[in-house]
Chains A and B, each alone.
Chain A
Amino acid sequence: MQPIKFLGILLLVSSLVALGGTACGPTAPAEKVITIGQYADAVSLDPQDTNDNASYSIEKPMLEGLIGFNEKMEQIPQLAERWEASPDAKVYTFYLRKGVKFHDGTPFNAAAVKANFDRIRNPDNKLKRYTLYKIISQIDVIDEYTVRFTLAGPFGAMIATFAHPAGGINSPTAVEKYGKEYGKNPVGTGPYKFVEWVPNDHITLVKNPDYWDKANGPKVDKIIVKPVPEAGTRIAMLQKGDAQFINTVPYAQAETVKGDKNLNLVATESIYTFWVSMNVQKKPFDNLKVRQALNYAIDKEAIIKAVLRGYGKPANSPVAPLVWGHAPAKTYPYDPAKAKALLAEAGYPNGFKTTLRGAESTEAKEVMVAIQGQLKQVGVEAEVISLPSATLSAERFKPLAENTGEIDYSGWSPSTGDADWAIRPLLTKENWPPTNYTIGFYTHPKVEELVKTALQTSDAAKRKAAYAEVQQIIMDDCPWIVLWVNYVLGGSRANVGGIAIQPDGIGFYRSVYYK
């Protein structure tokens, strides 16, 4: 009789469990969860110690800055209601939002802001974004909700620098509590709160029910971000519904996403400009005619159509249209005959040999091969050298005397969204390697002067005028073969909205909702 008795108990228990299950089901509404397949895992979740877009994408729903960007890269008030800049671009005053609390209950106020920027501008903390804010010389708490920054010198692009994702405000209590481990335990004021980070598996965020902006609060209960480096896997996840959004979709697979009626391709015009920088300190690139010839030799439209599968547009300035201060300057139409004539005038009727350096990603290689093919049409034999990122970076950052670079395919996104960061690091003498990214060793007296002028003032009109002139000089003097501005592509399920990739390549996840 024992086994039968046991079976009876088992049946009773299981039916109770089943009943309980059905009884509870309808009362608890289903949790709204969004799963995002992202091309990489975060490196850190401390915005002051982050310099990669994968990390910023996950930080942004949790951490807000004094100023933020909307989806068009326009500055919008976030934790500051308004701000003032002195005309000499040295003193910046912020009037803070009242009644905001961090996720851990710490009140958001001027002291918290001061603590944040004191932390990042202290070189002893060795934070990756130290250089962005080191120009701040003094921070004064005027009252509970007013804070004033004084800079060591005039810096007209400071407002944009505050809007940079590194300016995300962290709870000073949490920074104190976690110390070195803060990057794994972020606490901010955003619509989503941090729950857990299992490296190389997932990061979970839950909604912040007390978010200060009721109109733009969280619309789902949970966001799970999974690192999925292989693009094919990301797309399969999206197709199966295992992910509701993927960041990113490679151009080659855009058609696959677009052609699926359950999916949407989310394309955003970026602030990335792509270009081939020429080492203007070396022959033959010291010759303006040669540089112009190479600009005429490249058929940008054709490469965009074939390699970028149409997701780009030819650039008419070194600064992308969505960057503050962009002014259209000029484009070089595809004209191989003119290119040949210019090369002949420059003393290279039969062209020359050179090396084209760049990254080893499939996309970079395809672009470089296309450029190689077009340069060949005008007699320039370019050997393509694609290098792994660490080697490439080491080669690019070698000082002039040791740098073997001739022409180099690269791209840049100014993450402050301001023309200063789109020009100064790339095209001025004090930013030659090994200091920064002027990898073509370019310098031009007028450009140097204008870039400085634009930083001496906070007057937007004056700054814009200076940058417009710089852009014209760059396009005329062509230290680069200016190529295109691309689109960044994400993919979402058709029933999901409010999610995209920002023009700067950072995921914009905070407004996601189910339709």
Chain B
Amino acid sequence: MRGKGPGNKAVPGVLPLAPGYFRKPRSLWSDAWRRLLRNPVAMTGGVIAILLVAVALGARYVAPYDPVAQDLANSLASPSPTHLAGTDVHGRDIFSRIIYGTAISLRIGFLGMLLGCLIGVTLGLASGYYGGWLDMVIMRLLDVQLAFPGLLLAICIIAVIGPGLENVIVAVGIFSVPMFARVTRGQVLSLKQQDYVLAARMMGAQDGRIMIRHLLPNALAPILVIATLRIATAILTAASLSFLGLGAQPPTPEWGAMLSDGRQYLTIAPHVATTPGLAILVTVLSFNLLGDGLRDALDPRLRV
């Protein structure tokens, strides 16, 4: 086979090049992907996350019972073949409620993260790119927000806009803004000094084009890491809010609310509280593991 490739024509006096020399250079993303594949912990997180999404999407096919159908005669039944995770005080099937709850938690996690990401990244881009007074104002405002403990801030937001699942998404979103904004700004500050950005500007590119076409794609890696980790935080915050009665309203099968409902039966029916607790644990853990793995994989200083 050797010597038959187009670039390997034997020229007298010149050594043939190693095979694959002309292979297309690997991008940061494909490099990262390979590194991620080689990280078993991150992959476990990833696989569980994908499974959870699948369960959430197919909840109605997976769940054996209607999550709000009551059977009071069967209150607080222990786990059994008919009710895999037992029933709660209203005789509702906990396993089915957990499955439907997956959809609710993931939706809050994704949408909350997305909202925070959109606002945060926009602020971060503007702040880092323009600098000056705009940077000053945006960053100081975000500093003020960061000064509040996270959950307390979310509770304050709920107190203003009222309880309910949709409002939890807003609260969780707002609560994630500073994180995204700071990371984006940091990236932009270093990127805007790069030659290709200066070149684009010299060629007369508009500010918007430079930010969207040149700065954002190159700042994406750390944002992606934050986004994955933020999903986990968003799910946990939403569950905490529902636990406190500020999120999901009955009879919505939200994990935090289920945990709160089951709390007082801990001594006589521990499965009522432990099952949603485990569901929160597994979900948050999977997104955190995936996020950590992504961070390692996307770090250009870590070579394979």
Contacts and interface: CB of A to CB of B under 8 A. Distances in A.
Interface in B58-109: 68-70, 72-73, 75-76, 89-91
A368 B250 contact: yes
A365 B264 contact: no
B261 interface: yes
Nearest to B260: A362
Given A373-B70, A386-B245, A305 B264 contact: no
Interface string A296-314: 0001001101110000000
Contacts of B76: 306
Given A252-B268, A256-B267, A362-B261, A369 B250 contact: yes
Contacts, number: 65
Contacts of B75: 305-307
A370 interface: yes
A140 interface: no
Contacts of B132: none
Interface in B140-172: none
A231 B76 CA distance: 20
Contacts of B39: none
A370 B264 contact: no
SS class of chain B's interface: helix, strand, loop or mixed?
A: loop
A469 interface: no
Interface residues of B, number: 21
Contacts of B70: 369-370, 373-374
Given A250-B264, A256-B267, A372-B250, A366 B72 contact: no
Nearest to B68: A373
A4 B177 CA distance: 71
A30 B186 CA distance: 72
Interface string A341-376: 000000000000000000010100110111011100
A289 B76 CA distance: 35
B245 A253 contact: no
B218 interface: no
Contacts of B217: none
* Residue among A255, A256, A303, A306 having the largest count of chain B Cβ atoms under 10 Å: A306
A358 to B, nearest CB: 11
Contacts of B266: 232
A362 B264 contact: yes
A494 interface: no
Interface string B244-282: 010001110000000011001111100000000000000
Given A253-B267, A256-B267, A373-B90, A305 B73 contact: yes
Given A306-B75, A360-B245, A366 B267 contact: no
B74 to A, nearest CB: 9
A252 B68 contact: no
Interface in B208-227: none
24 contacts: A252-B89, A252-B265, A252-B268, A253-B267, A255-B267, A256-B267, A299-B72, A302-B72, A303-B72, A305-B73, A306-B76, A306-B89, A360-B245, A366-B89, A368-B250, A369-B250, A370-B70, A373-B68, A374-B70, A383-B249, A384-B250, A386-B245, A386-B249, A386-B250
Interface of A: 231-232, 250, 252-253, 255-256, 299, 302-303, 305-307, 360, 362, 365-366, 368-370, 372-374, 383-386
